Amino acid sequence: MTTSQQQLPEGARYCADTFNGAIASAALSAAWEIGLLDELDQRRRLDIAEFAEQRDAHPHTVRAILIALSSRRIVSLDPERETAETDVGFDDAFRARAFFYWLTRGCGELLTTLPVKVVNSLRQGGFVRRDARAISVACRNITQTFFDPPLRDMIDSLELGTVADLGCGGGERLLMLAALKPEARLIGVDMSTSAITVAREAVREAGVQDRVTLTQDDFVTMGPRPEYAKVDTVTCFLMGHDLWPRQDCVRTLRRLRTVFPNVRNLILGDTCRSTGLDGPEHPLFTLGFETVHSVMGQLLPTIDEWSTAIEEGGWRIADRHLLDVPAFSFIDRLTPA
């Protein structure tokens, strides 16, 4: 009997699954980046050689990626026909693909050099390096998939005049808000020149440049501007934990009242530190999110710590939506206290 035919003991099976899961995570991330996941999502089946030829891809590497995905039943392979098709785990994996991309593409170097990050004498200067572009791509997909649907429900009944989106990135949320609220004017704010450039092109292509203004500014240090005085609603997603520690967060929340003197709503979405979990109970993303930020020396706040900081910062929670995925995530609509 070959090793593949043997029933592994429980401990060996556990170790094999852990090892194979790490490979499958990297394979899932790569499959998204090279278009393999999208191809399977649209067609549900593909010919390996045909895909490799169309994408000028190395066929043996494409096959290796698919084999890794088959180990988690994301795809199934027909070795005789050299084809792959979606399996029982595909739809869930496709929906969660950005989390794997964030982990392996965005934070891969941090994780592979983790032993070095433990040594205090080596934690100097830019000792943490992450792929900013990959993290931006991942966070954009995570926001669109998991945060935007409840955000749309939250603001559907609100009357919006002028909305400022802090950390607007490539402008995706601006375009969503422009479509949802055709009467609203929008201001996209980001500290990145490249993000503003990408957002400007997206706004132009969507034909909403008459309603959308883009401004380069830093969320943490921004001050009043004439255009900010018209803002009645501010949105900010997946950036709030960067405002901590607590005293900095409270200071920024108070400053926003000065920067936007006529604001009626601050809609804040973020992921918090978990509470009450035992090791094996960690859901998707939580363990990676908390491990990476611990290495970076950034303590994430819990939902309760957020609540008290919001109150001390001069706001009250008018509406709160808790997300199942990512776990320990929220969308709060805040109003001035």
Q: Could you read off the pLDDT of 82-129 as tens digits, one per residue?
A: 999 999 999 999 999 999 999 999 999 999 999 999 999 999 888 899
State residue 172's pLDDT score: 92
**pLDDT of amino acid 1:** 41
End-to-end Cα distance, the chain = 71
- Long-range contacts of 15-21, Cβ-Cβ distance < 8 Å, separation of 24 or more: 20/68, 20/71, 20/72, 21/72
Retrieve residue 56's tokens.
């000028």
| Identity of the residue numbered 35 | G
Phi, psi at 211, each rounded to 5°? -115, -10
Query: Which residues lie closer than 8 Å to 11 by C-beta, 6 or more apart?
Result: none
Could you tell me the pTM of the whole model? 0.92
Q: Which two tokens stand for residue 99?
A: 């989390």
Strand partners, 268: 236, 332
Residue from 211, 217, 228 nearest 174 by CA: 211
Instruction: Kindly state the percentage of the chain with pLDDT values over 90.
Output: 84
- φ and ψ of 329, to 5 deg: -115, 155
| Segments of the chain with pLDDT less than 70 | 1-6
